[in-house]
Amino acid sequence: MHFGGADGGPLTDSGSAIFDQESGGVVAWTRVSDVAQFTEALAAGAAQIEVSGTLKGMPSVTLPPGTALRGGELVFGAKGLRLTSNNSLADTTVRTSAHELAIYNDPSVADLGTLRLKNVTTSGQVYLTAEGSIHAGRVEADGVHVAEADTRGRVDRPTGFGVEALQGAFTLWNRQPDAAVVLTARLENISAGSSEAPVRGGGVFVGGHGNKAGKADGGTVAVELLSTGEVFSDGGIAPGTPDLISGGVFVISGARVAQVVNRGTTTTFGQNDMVLDNWGEVAHWTAQGAVTSHGPSGIGFVNFGDIGVLTVQAPIVTTGLGARGFNVYDGSLKAASFESITTRGDGSVGIQVSRELPSLTITGSLSTSGGTGESLVKGVLMPLSAIALSVKPTGSIGTVDIGGDVATAGDALATVDLEGPVGTLTVGGRVIAAGAGATAVRISGQSGPDLSGLRLEAPHGDAVTKA
């Protein structure tokens, strides 16, 4: 066999040789520039393969355990590159059809070892899972960009809270029902799609095994850091669908994440697309980039799991029928702070809290511009009014501190609607109910917070109503 050297021998690059810790020697990279050379290198057991140029017309390739691949571009007709254990990919592009798997892993191995991806771009889904025989492993990814993917046809979907969730263009999923199976991961600078060509289905998806109620009940993924760059996704869900959602960045039940950082903007475009969604456990979640939804029944940030501290340092803006800003539907959240929240559309609630929330802070404004419209709530389409701040009977907030205005434009609704208790309410600007028959603050069933220091404006309705 030969790999293109002038003398018929292997074309190796001693200048890029590496030290192999197991053998105690130096291993050179085997360089290949066409499909035949690549196939021969794998058959000869080359441990380090460097691709030069573009290799087209390739069948799916399995990297043997311990094999490293770097450089070049691999173009597949169907499934792409299958990893086994202790593989690494660096500075490479893997392309296949949008609905196919660009990078995935072999479920027949017992232990993934450590799979490393660095500066990798794909067309096609990155799908790394623990299923079959896999009972251990670690994934380290840094600088993975999924330029194109379509996961809408995937049959396997997590279920919870009345809906199924589409897989992401980048998916890390422990599907083992055994709670003793734990994957570990560090995922940095993961991005998907573009503003001109969002990925179809979900964006970035990290999760473990969950039951039909959306609660963790098996294998888990322990993630030290999940950081994302720019993520653009469109779930492509049909209008009026009540039981299917997708997420731009989605932490699923069974994931335990120390820190989520959205460094870039996260944008969704479709029906039932959650921009940022949590069913898992996250200690600290920080969004540094803008959070934007353009589709009906989308939500900027929605929590069904457990979060310690949530900080959104850029605007949340949602546009569309029933598209909401921030929801705490289930689970727990200790403190949430936002730069500003703006929703546009009928049924577009700004903030809705259905569980205990000790602290809520908005440095800027909270505003909605719609009236009453249909929105998806836990798998059911129901009418909602575009209230700015809604505390449901099952919810409560300890302290609310808003620096700017709290404003609504819709008729016959309340700007601040308190069905559950709020300890203190501070608003640096005004509470404005601009619509006909609208109320600035409505308090139901309890005494409510002190309103004496608030500037309440309801030119066509009531400043305060109590029931």
pLDDT digits (tens, 9 = 90+) for 256-308: 999 999 999 999 999 999 999 999 999 999 999 999 999 999 999 999 999 99
Give the single-character DSSP code of 348: -
pLDDT of residue 26: 64
Q: How many CB atoms lie within 10 A of CB 302?
A: 25
What are 370's two structure tokens? Answer: 């719609």
pLDDT of residue 24: 53
**In the chain, domain spans:** 18-466
Across the chain, mean pLDDT equals 93
pLDDT of residue 13: 44
pLDDT of residue 378: 66
Beta-bridge partners for 290: none
DSSP sequence for 388-453: SEEE-TT-EEEEEEESS-EEE--TT-EEEEESS-EEEEEESSEEEE-STT-EEEEE-SS-----TT
- Distance (Å, whole) CA 152 – CA 199: 10
Given CA atoms 172, 177, 178, 180 in this order, what sign does their dihedral have? positive
What are 195's two structure tokens? Answer: 């503003």
- Distance (Å, whole) CA 154 – CA 100: 10
Q: Which of 348, 326, 223 lies closest to 276 in space, CA to CA? A: 326
Q: Is the pTM of this model over 0.85?
A: yes
Name residue 148's amino acid: E
**345 pLDDT band (50/70/90 cuts)?**
very high
- In this prediction, what percent of the chain has a pLDDT beyond 70? 92
Report residue 35: phi and psi, to 5°.
Answer: -65, -40
Report residue 455: phi and psi, to 5°.
Answer: -95, 105
Q: Are 264 and 229 in contact (CB under 8 A)?
A: yes
Given CA atoms 446, 447, 450, 455 in this order, what sign does their dihedral have? positive
- Distance (Å, whole) CA 137 – CA 417: 48
**Whole-number Cα distances in Å, 67 to 1, 42, 180:** 19, 9, 28
> Taking 50 as the threshold, does the pLDDT of residue 237 lie above it?
yes
pLDDT of residue 380: 63
pLDDT in tens, 97-146: 999 999 999 999 999 999 999 999 999 999 999 999 999 999 999 999 99
